[in-house]
Amino acid sequence: MGMQRHEFKALYRTHAGELLGYLRRRGAGDAAPDLLAETFLTAWRRRSDLPDAVNRRAWLFGTARRLLLAHRRTSQQVTPVDDLDDLPSRRPDAPADSMREDLVRQALTRLPEVDRELLTLTVWERLPIVEAAVVVGLSANAARVRLHRARKRLADDPTLRDAIQSTPAP
């Protein structure tokens, strides 16, 4: 039988905001609300096949990601690297912060797409690595290894290291 209507409404209320933010941060622009609706329409249609409650959030993120990738293929509006340009600055009035953010964006673009997605899912979206692995279609162990290597690549990036070392202590 699957999920009841009231359970589905609770699922929507719990996760719609974070999924919409995810879609917007990934450059979906005006299509973000439509992609969110399509994500939940897919979930409703497959409600009898949804994973257990612990894994539903990851399933929703994975569905949203696949819909976003399909949207990009058909619309040719945004490439996976372009979505980093849409990230809001924390303090747009601070030029040094802006320069460091640009360096981070550039370093992220040098990572493979899956590694970049794992990093952003775990840092920006605050998904546990187990959920992020589901989203990108990897085993938890493979995702841990890739995430570790991606973090090491960023830590070893000389441009980023110089920017971090030049940051004054708070």
Radius of gyration, CA atoms only, the chain: 18
b vs e for 120-146, b when ≥16 Cβ sit within 10 Å of the residue's Cβ? bbbeebebebebbbbbbebeeeebbeb
Give pLDDT tens digits for 116-132. Answer: 999 999 998 999 999 99
Q: What is the pLDDT of residue 160?
A: 78
How high does pLDDT run on average in the chain?
A: 85
Give pLDDT tens digits for 10-23. Answer: 999 999 999 999 99
Where do the domains of the chain lie, and which CATH numbers do they carry? 1-86 (1.10.1740), 90-170 (1.10.10.10)
Cβ–Cβ contacts within 10 Å for residue 47, how many? 16
Q: What is the pLDDT of residue 88?
A: 47
Give pLDDT tens digits for 55-81. Answer: 999 999 999 999 999 998 888 654 444
Say if residue 85's pLDDT is above 80.
no
